[in-house]
Amino acid sequence: QVQLVESGGGVVQPGGSLRLSCAASGFTFSSYGMHWVRQAPGKGLEWVAFIRNDGSDKYYRDSVKGRFTISRDNSKNTVSLQMNSLRDEDTAVYYCAKDGAYGFNYDYWGQGTLVTVSS
């Protein structure tokens, strides 16, 4: 069965950096795009970034462009999110999600990892 396991969350000061990782199993990882989605405490879902199956294309929401970088290693079945210049408003649970077979939906989700940006 599909499993997505995020790691790397924690507490970081404003302006700091953090790298999230997501280990995937149970499907042909190299065949699917992957997303990062976040949810601030008590708030709604917010799409963050997407990477195509072969890493050839990457999309970001405007508020993280230039600060966050999504990447993947198809030999290790992992997708990562490098987060720099973190702000208070980046505080959220970050979910790794698999793109659906027909594209641009999230058919499987990890359990999430909490990122807290606070001084």
Partner 1 sequence: QSALTQPASVSGSPGQSITISCTGTSSDVGGYTYVSWYQQHPGKVPKLMIYDVSNRPSGVSNRFSGSKSGNTASLTISGLQAEDEADYYCSSYTSSRTLVFGGGTKLTVL
In the complex with partner 1, the residue whose CB is nearer, 30 or 111, is 111
Which x/- pattern, by CB under 8 A, does the window 22-41 give for partner 1?
-------------x-x----
In the complex with partner 1, the residue whose CB is nearer, 54 or 107, is 107
Binder among 45, 53, 55, 71 for partner 1 (CB under 8 A): 45
Cβ 84 to partner 1, closest distance in Å?
Answer: 20
The 8-class DSSP code of residue 43 comes to: S
Residue 100 touches partner 1, criterion: CB under 8 A: yes
Residue 110: how many CB atoms within 10 A of its CB?
Answer: 21
* β-strand partners of 37: 47, 95
* Locus of tokens 């909490």: 114
CB crowding 61-98: b at 16 or more within 10 Å, else e: eeebeeebbbebeeeebbbbbebeebeeebbbbbbbbb
In the complex with partner 1, the residue whose CB is nearer, 31 or 63, is 63
Residues that bind partner 1 (CB under 8 A): 35, 37, 44-47, 50, 59-63, 95, 100, 102-112
